[in-house]
């Protein structure tokens, strides 16, 4: 990698979407600073997957950020309530109980602080049209309002070195994301999606296959005509 490649922050969970974004940013020639958040998610196993994916790529600077889990008291995703199973209406325009209060607002804000500290202008996040239907902090109007706010919040933004929030998946559904990522060489077998993993008696994690995230993933692979090797 050339020394003068532009740098980018990638918000990276180890999931299907953010891993696709990571590989897209690598493909675009960025020097990558990946940020992974530990916020008390039930599916903390995704952080191990994030580490494994990073280990395949040289020169990525990877930081895992611990957040006080008390912040996210009211989400089923952090253990307060039950994760819904076998939902028929995943794509309806309503906000599910797995919504984590202000999660992307917090992740993006921390990414902005990190970016400004490292003279980075571009921040990538894997929000997409499938999330968009449910989570308010994945929608285009939030992202564009956040970008404006971030530039008012920062010295760099005020002085003309604009912070850009890049959402390369924003118009794609799961099927399109998988096809896009396959062409970039994304190791989908290493990505983790399940909200509510099952641990077997050997301590190995398996996706539940019934939560919204598992269902969206399975439908995405089926519609793309690609086998999801995570299950093998």
Closer Cβ to its own copies, 104 or 128, answer by number? 104
d(CA 95, CA 217): 19
The smaller minimum CB distance to its own copies, of residues 87 and 148, is found at: 148
| Secondary structure (DSSP) of 49-87 | HHHHHHHTSTT-EEEEEE--GGGGTT-GGGTSSPPPBS-
Is 103 within 8 Å of 137 (Cβ atoms)? yes
- Please, which residue, 36 or 213, has the CB nearer to its own copies? 36
Residue 149 Cβ, how far from its own copies at the closest point, in Å?
4
Task: Provide, rounded to whole angstroms, the least separation between the CB of residue 190 and its own copies.
Answer: 25
Least Å distance, CB 183 to its own copies, is 32
Interface ranges with its own copies (CB under 8 A): 63, 65-68, 70-75, 95, 99-106, 108-110, 112-114, 116-118, 136-137, 139, 141-142, 145-146, 148-150, 152-155, 157-159
Reported for 207-214, long-range contacts at CB under 8 A and 24+ positions apart, including other chains, are: 207/231, 208/85, 210/85, 210/86, 211/83, 211/84, 211/85, 211/98, 212/84, 212/87, 212/90, 212/96, 212/98, 212/134
Residue 103 CB, nearest approach to its own copies (Å): 7
User: Comparing C-alpha atoms, which of 136, 114, 133, 131 is closest to residue 123?
Assistant: 114
* Comparison of 153 and 184: residue with beta carbon closer to its own copies: 153
Using the minimum distance from each CB to its own copies, give the nearer residue, 95 or 198. 95
Rounded to a whole number of angstroms, the minimum distance from the CB of residue 196 to its own copies is 20
**Residue 60 or 178 having the CB closest to its own copies:** 60
- Report in angstroms how near the CB of residue 60 gets to its own copies at its nearest: 16
Degrees (nearest 5) of the Cα angle 225, 231, 232? 95
Rounded CA separation 96/65 (Å): 25
* Number of residues assigned to the chain: 232
């Amino acid at each position: 990698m050339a020394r003068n490649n532009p740098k980018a922050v990638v918000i990276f969970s180890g999931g299907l979407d953010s891993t696709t974004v990571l590989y897209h940013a690598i493909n675009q020639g960025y020097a990558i600073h990946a940020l992974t958040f530990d916020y008390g998610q039930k599916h903390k196993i995704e952080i191990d997957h994030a580490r494994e994916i990073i280990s395949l790529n040289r020169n990525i600077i990877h930081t895992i950020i611990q957040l006080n889990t008390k912040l996210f008291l009211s989400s089923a995703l952090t253990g307060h309530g039950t994760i819904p199973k076998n939902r028929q209406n995943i794509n309806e325009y309503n906000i599910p109980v797995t919504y984590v209060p202000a999660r992307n607002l917090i992740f993006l804000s921390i990414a902005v602080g990190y970016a400004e500290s490292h003279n980075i202008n571009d921040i990538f996040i894997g929000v997409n049209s499938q999330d968009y239907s449910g989570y308010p902090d994945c929608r285009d109007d939030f992202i564009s309002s956040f970008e404006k706010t971030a530039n008012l919040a920062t010295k760099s933004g005020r002085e003309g070195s604009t912070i850009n929030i890049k959402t390369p998946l924003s118009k794609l559904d799961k099927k399109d994301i998988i096809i896009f990522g396959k062409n970039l060489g994304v190791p989908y077998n290493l990505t983790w999606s399940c909200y509510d993993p099952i641990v077997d008696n050997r301590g190995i994690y398996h996706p539940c296959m019934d939560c919204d995230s598992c269902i969206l993933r399975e439908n995405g692979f089926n519609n793309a005509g690609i086998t999801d090797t995570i299950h093998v």
